[in-house]
Structure 1
Amino acid sequence: MAPVMVRRGIAGLTGAGVSALAQFSLAVVVTRAFSPAQAGAFFSVTALTLMAAGIAKLDAGNGLVYFIARAKTYDYRGISGYFRAAVVPCALAACGAGVLLEPRIGLLAWALPVIVLGDVALAATRGFGSIRPTVLLDGVLLPVAQLVLVSWAALAKAPEWLPAAWALPFVPLLVLALAGLPGRAPRTPYLPGTGRDLWRYTAPRSVAGAIQAVFQRLDIVIVAWLAGPAQAAVYTAATRFRVVGQLANQGLAQAVQERLVRALADGELGRARELYQATTIWLVLLTWPVWLGYAVLAPWLLRVFGPAYGAAAPIALVLAGTMLVATACGMVDVVLTAAGHTLTSLLNLLAAITCTVALDLVLIPSHGALGAVIGWSSGVIVKNLLPLWQLHHRYGLRPFGRHTLAALRPRTWATAA
């Protein structure tokens, strides 16, 4: 792996580590300071907010990464038009979602446009090849500020302040992300067909992004709906460690996505294979010790959230086993979409969420949080194994191969292109 990719990977993983620790600490603060019913209500309303934001983003961020990375060859001609074509529909979708959900999520409805536009702005910086704004703002500033403000609300014993404390840090993230764009994105005339090209690529991913957002957090909402907020709190606490795998995967993906797009666009299948296998082995090495340790220590670790949470150890075992399989597959969906197969990715996500929801509806009423994690686990397995087979069938790509061991040898970094 080239030195620049190593630095980007380390930066992405550092931000993911800080974010995971801060989010875990936030869950501990909330569960220790408030009753399971109050904690569950907070977790379910923030999950619903993030689901709505994930839908309203329309996956425009990944569309921008794709087009900005490809436009580098032409000195970013017309690139500001792509940014405008991405931002306007996302802002309208976020405002519409806020109006619809205001009775359910209250003041968090006002935070939706801020959350969505901040994500799109950060994605644009990654398209230009810079991972630093994402690491500093999304990986450090946001989760740390949320932890500080939520802790303040906990010390004040004011559960009604929790939503505002959680939402407020999204404002400086948006302001700082936008402030960093003018120097990277030259203002150019709006070229005919810009919006059409962007949304022709992004439209299938918009649906897929919405399904992905729902897939990540729907289980918490369903548990709260079918089993009550107390069970939602238990489920959230027991599955809080899954953010480690999600953020580690996200950190590596943010570091290599732009290069994967360029490699596949230029037909450099060997380079794409190298990036895929290198990130997979690092993902395994960084996360497997966490999952194995969690499986062994779960009965004791869960008591950090409070005495009532220790009984959730079976949920932790299912989570750990699922994430061992998922991380061994590598960044399968990122590679699939980098190759342009956005519709296939959408169909894979539809299959995964169908599996999850079906099992949730059957199992949660009788098994509560354990039923929810079984449903989620089945969806995750489907979501990873389908694209794994598709990549192998179409491109001969595998998560492990001759580049796996090479990725661990520092002396190869300087010679790899």
Structure 2
Amino acid sequence: MSAATTSRGELARGGALSFVGSAISAVMGLVLIIVLGRLLGDAGSGVVLQAVGAFTIALGVARFGMDSAAIWILPRQLEDDRQLLRPTSAFLLLTSAVAGLVCAVALFAGALIVEAQAPGDPVAEAIRSIVWLLPVASVMLTALSATRALGQVTAYVLVGNVFLPSLRPLAIAAVVGLGAGALGATAAWALPLVPAALVAVIVVLIQLRRLGSATQPGFLRSGVPGRTLRYALPRVVSSGLEQLLIWVAVIIVGAIAGPAAAGVYGAASRFVAAGMIVDTALRVVVSPMFSRMLHRGDRHELESVYRTATVWLVLFSTPVYLLLAIFAPVALSLLGESFAEGQAVLIVMSVGSIVTFLAGNIHSVLLMSGRSGLAAANKAVAVAVNVALIYAFVPLWGITGAAAAWAVACALDALLASLQVRYVLKLNVSPLPGLYPLLVATLTIGIPALASRMLLGATWVGLIVAALVGGALFLAWCRWDRRRLHLGELRRPPSSPTPQG
């Protein structure tokens, strides 16, 4: 069996587990939005989502790129420098904790300034209630990335995709049921970070102990801290910009049109984020693989895995977004009548996501090559375009304009990364592998869904019929053409134990 085939089998096995976790995370993310919408309404949800957005943007900086650095450097050390694993892991965790504390102080000061100018501002109060958990969150994310980099996807999935997302809606429902408002709901969203971080750190310590390699003395003189920081510093910028790209529209819409509009836009965008389950599942698995392959110079193997992952990403993600776009009113009805105006947002963002997926896991390839500076520059361009278009489009088209700005910015980010991987890294990547699975999903899911919408209307019955008929056609096509869609890898048993690296 060829190396590329073995790697695709590893991708399939790890991706399957990660997909289950991502699916649970997506479902619980939707439950969270439904709980907020039903219990707090659009205005209350807007306050919580703006505070969460500010916290998440700050967290992009607070983790100081140590989560990405873990994915980049630890798989390489597993290959040839195992004695450096323990001190490197300690360095990653300590750096993220210190950076998280500094960012928490900065965000707290910012909230105080806002409150001084606008006393009683609910968003600023909500931010102050959770800002002290920034270092906890940054350590948790770095620890989870380290578990994944050391070859154990299970802990990453169980803690990050199951435990934490499942606890949050339960906590919010409990505190709101006891009479708390948006402030209490925001705190309830953040508190589960504490046990999640504790578990993540314990798992990393157990993994390092099982690897059983001695610690090399003189770590600070080994060059690893300098290499790690040089890689991570551009990721600090890039990670903050990534979160800006996701959350900045919620904050700007809230500033322009008020918390109710921010709540509607934020809720609709969370449906789109929930649909990223396949992208998230594949990225969790392919990033360490790409790092190992690039370290070994296995360009052919990397290109093969990239093409397979692109086919699967488009094939399994597109049906979700087609159903969301065609039955947008049905999805948003879960939140309440006040969220109905988010239909156009859901349609535009779903179409934008499908287009962006044609680039595959291109960002992972760029980052794992060590070109974190290029990734940061791409994000800077994308965020600048996004913000400029938000201010241009929102006065014209309201929250739909913010969705269009986001879609354009995401497509631009993917295009820039694709060009850099092709012409800087000299890797053979293109959107062509994604075109055939896009056609399959459109013919089997999209057309039946449109027919069901026209015949039965935007109803739950119409959505269920579309899902059943389209799903049957989709599965039949996948079975018939499983070779071209690389689906045989999903059933192939492992030929050898999966490497820990």
Judge which range, 202-211 or 117-126, deviates more: 202-211
Aligned residue type for 2:93: V
Does 2:398 align with 1:368? yes
Aligned residue type for 2:206: G
Where does residue 157 of structure 2 map in the other structure? 135
State whether residues 349 and 403 of structure 2, in contact with CA within 8 Å, keep that contact through their aligned partners in structure 1. Answer: yes
- Secondary structure of the corresponding residue to residue 305 of structure 1: coil
Where does residue 175 of structure 1 map in the other structure? 198
Aligned residue type for 1:155: G
TM-score using structure 2 length: 0.79
**How far apart are 1:324 and its partner, in Å?**
0.7
Where does residue 396 of structure 1 map in the other structure? 428
Judge which range, 175-184 or 133-142, deviates more: 175-184
Unpaired segments of 5 or more residues in structure 2? 112-123, 435-481
- Secondary structure of the corresponding residue to residue 304 of structure 1: coil
State whether residues 280 and 400 of structure 1, in contact with CA within 8 Å, keep that contact through their aligned partners in structure 2. Answer: no
Judge which range, 277-286 or 18-27, deviates more: 277-286
State whether residues 19 and 278 of structure 2, in contact with CA within 8 Å, keep that contact through their aligned partners in structure 1. Answer: yes
Q: Once the two structures are aligned, what percentage of the paired residues are identical? A: 26
Post-superposition Cα deviations, 1:48-97, rounded to whole Å, max 9, x if no partner, equal 11111111112211111211100112351222222233233322221122
TM-score using structure 1 length: 0.94
Q: Would the alpha carbon gap of residues 194 and 392 (structure 1) be closer, same or farther in structure 2, given more than 3 Å must change?
A: closer
Aligned residue type for 2:189: W
Does 2:372 align with 1:342? yes
State whether residues 352 and 379 of structure 1, in contact with CA within 8 Å, keep that contact through their aligned partners in structure 2. Answer: yes
Post-superposition Cα deviations, 1:189-221, rounded to whole Å, max 9, x if no partner, equal 342122111112222222211211221211111
Q: Would the alpha carbon gap of residues 368 and 243 (structure 1) be closer, same or farther in structure 2, given more than 3 Å must change?
A: same
Where does residue 217 of structure 1 map in the other structure? 247
Could you tell me which of 256, 259, 263 is aligned with 1:229? 259
**How far apart are 1:399 and its partner, in Å?**
4.7
State whether residues 393 and 402 of structure 2, in contact with CA within 8 Å, keep that contact through their aligned partners in structure 1. Answer: yes
Distance in 1 (alpha carbons) for counterparts of 2:487 and 2:302: 17
Distance in 1 (alpha carbons) for counterparts of 2:418 and 2:274: 21
Q: Would the alpha carbon gap of residues 412 and 391 (structure 1) be closer, same or farther in structure 2, given more than 3 Å must change?
A: farther
Where does residue 100 of structure 2 map in the other structure? 94
How do 1:247-258 and structure 2 match up within 5 A? Answer: 247-258=277-288
Q: Would the alpha carbon gap of residues 268 and 232 (structure 1) be closer, same or farther in structure 2, given more than 3 Å must change?
A: same
How do 1:37-52 and structure 2 match up within 5 A? Answer: 37-52=43-58
Larger-Rg structure = 2
Q: Would the alpha carbon gap of residues 379 and 187 (structure 1) be closer, same or farther in structure 2, given more than 3 Å must change?
A: farther
**How far apart are 1:271 and its partner, in Å?**
0.9
Does 2:33 align with 1:27? yes
- Secondary structure of the corresponding residue to residue 340 of structure 1: coil
**How far apart are 1:332 and its partner, in Å?**
0.8
**How far apart are 1:413 and its partner, in Å?**
6.4
Where does residue 322 of structure 2 map in the other structure? 292
Post-superposition Cα deviations, 1:262-290, rounded to whole Å, max 9, x if no partner, equal 11111111110121111111111221111
- Secondary structure of the corresponding residue to residue 106 of structure 1: helix
Aligned residue type for 1:33: L
**How far apart are 1:245 and its partner, in Å?**
4.0
- Secondary structure of the corresponding residue to residue 324 of structure 2: helix
**How far apart are 1:412 and its partner, in Å?**
6.0
Judge which range, 204-213 or 118-127, deviates more: 204-213
State whether residues 71 and 148 of structure 2, in contact with CA within 8 Å, keep that contact through their aligned partners in structure 1. Answer: yes
- Secondary structure of the corresponding residue to residue 239 of structure 1: helix
Distance in 2 (alpha carbons) for counterparts of 1:412 and 1:390: 34
Where does residue 311 of structure 1 map in the other structure? 341
Q: How many residues align?
A: 417
Where does residue 118 of structure 1 map in the other structure? 140
**How far apart are 1:414 and its partner, in Å?**
5.1
Q: Would the alpha carbon gap of residues 57 and 166 (structure 1) be closer, same or farther in structure 2, given more than 3 Å must change?
A: same
State whether residues 66 and 95 of structure 2, in contact with CA within 8 Å, keep that contact through their aligned partners in structure 1. Answer: no
Could you tell me which of 16, 24, 44 is aligned with 1:18? 24
Aligned residue type for 1:7: R
Distance in 1 (alpha carbons) for counterparts of 2:50 and 2:146: 30
Could you tell me which of 486, 494, 500 is aligned with 1:407? 486
Aligned residue type for 1:93: A
**How far apart are 1:36 and its partner, in Å?**
1.7
Judge which range, 394-403 or 13-22, deviates more: 394-403
Judge which range, 181-190 or 307-316, deviates more: 181-190
Where does residue 66 of structure 1 map in the other structure? 72
**How far apart are 1:360 and its partner, in Å?**
1.1
State whether residues 244 and 287 of structure 1, in contact with CA within 8 Å, keep that contact through their aligned partners in structure 2. Answer: no
Instruction: Give the alignment's Cα RMSD to 1 decimal.
Output: 2.1
